[in-house]
């Protein structure tokens, strides 16, 4: 089954953020972190008194099958799993039925180390990865030790498609342009009979100048889209040539999507914002602008019933 087939077959069910006491939905997404890889405060900026950020990660609760998944294993995985536990306690042990890695940059995979013998001493936690990402983990320590000791079980995606999980639930990787020193970079399409979402925390640019691929391709068929918001605009890093630091700016993405109907813009949640990005502060004028233009800023602890 291809991503295109999934999108064409998707339902147009309405989705809304669940209330804190609403535990009745079959599938629930939880924002476990919304910051750039290093979070905030960042190293060397201990006096930063802005809102704290944990690196970007999503948790998925499948109450039909009694399973929990996480998307990206960040250096803050201990605190992030504790947040997930408070919402839906694990059946046993860590209660992680799958980890989906987007790429080999520090905020997206370093948390795997906590499955090892120095910490959880986990047993065969399924870790889903693209071929180069899986090879990197197998061949480089300390990750190779996690594989050898069977703390994690690598499940490699084929280049042709994704994987079906229990309950007729699909996860489809989508290759995106991003720095690929050690692995491919992907976003993930999550798709089931009752739920759909797109997680795309890192991308260098929208490949077509006149459209926000793959956002426009998938907005019609999913309930929520979580997309790269690393920087607000080109004036954010004083003294730096930001043309050398790719990532679509939040202002650019909003301009590309502004002509969409309000119900489509409302599906967009900006995630993976740098500690310098003013949308980090919910009270900032920039956060107010995002809301006024019909989009959303993802915040740690946000919950979405799918």
pLDDT tens profile 133-187: 999 999 998 999 999 999 999 999 976 678 888 888 899 998 887 787 877 989 9
pLDDT at 212: 53
Q: How many helices (H) and strands (E) does the chain have?
A: 9, 15
pLDDT at 213: 55
pLDDT at 215: 65
pLDDT at 74: 98
Please name which of 178, 96, 170, 167 lies closest in space to residue 133, comparing C-alpha atoms: 178
Q: How many CA atoms lie within 13 A of 94 on its CB side?
A: 25
Q: Do strands 27-33 and 57-62 pair parallel, antiparallel, or not at all (unpaired)? A: antiparallel
Regions of the chain with pLDDT less than 70: 1-23, 159-160, 207-216
- Find out whether the peptide bond into 285 is cis, omega within 30 degrees of 0: no
Domain ranges, ordered by start, for the chain = 26-41+52-305
pLDDT at 38: 94
pLDDT at 264: 94
Instruction: For domain 26-41+52-305, give the fold.
Output: Metallo-beta-lactamase; Chain A (3.60.15)
Spatial separation of the C-alpha atoms in residues 129 and 136, rounded to whole Å: 10
pLDDT at 182: 73
């Amino acid at each position: 089954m291809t991503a295109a087939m999934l999108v064409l077959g998707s339902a147009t069910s309405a989705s809304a953020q669940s209330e804190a006491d609403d535990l009745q939905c079959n599938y629930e997404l939880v924002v476990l972190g919304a910051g750039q890889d290093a979070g905030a405060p960042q190293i060397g900026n201990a006096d930063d008194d802005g809102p704290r950020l944990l690196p970007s990660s999503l948790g998925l609760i499948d109450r039909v099958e009694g399973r929990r998944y996480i998307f990206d294993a960040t250096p803050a995985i201990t605190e992030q799993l504790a947040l997930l536990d408070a919402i839906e306690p694990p059946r046993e042990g860590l209660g992680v039925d799958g980890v989906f890695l987007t790429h080999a940059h520090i905020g997206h995979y370093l948390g795997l180390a906590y499955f090892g013998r120095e910490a959880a001493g986990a047993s065969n936690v399924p870790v889903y990865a693209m071929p180069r990402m899986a090879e990197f983990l197998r061949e480089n320590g300390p990750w190779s030790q996690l594989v050898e000791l069977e703390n994690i079980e690598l499940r490699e995606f084929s280049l042709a498609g994704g994987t079906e999980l229990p309950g007729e639930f699909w996860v489809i990787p989508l290759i995106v342009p991003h720095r690929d020193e050690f692995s491919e970079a992907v976003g993930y399409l999550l798709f089931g009979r009752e739920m759909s979402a797109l997680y795309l925390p890192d991308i260098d640019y929208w490949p077509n100048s006149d459209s926000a691929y793959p956002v426009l391709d998938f907005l019609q068929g999913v309930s929520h889209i979580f997309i790269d918001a690393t920087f607000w605009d080109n004036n954010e890093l004083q003294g730096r040539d930001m043309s050398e630091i790719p990532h679509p700016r939040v202002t650019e993405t909003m301009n590309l999507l502004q002509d969409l109907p309000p119900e489509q813009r409302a599906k967009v949640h900006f995630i993976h914002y740098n500690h310098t990005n003013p949308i980090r502060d919910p009270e900032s004028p920039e956060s107010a602008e995002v809301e006024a233009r019909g989009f959303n800023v993802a915040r740690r602890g946000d919950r979405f019933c799918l």
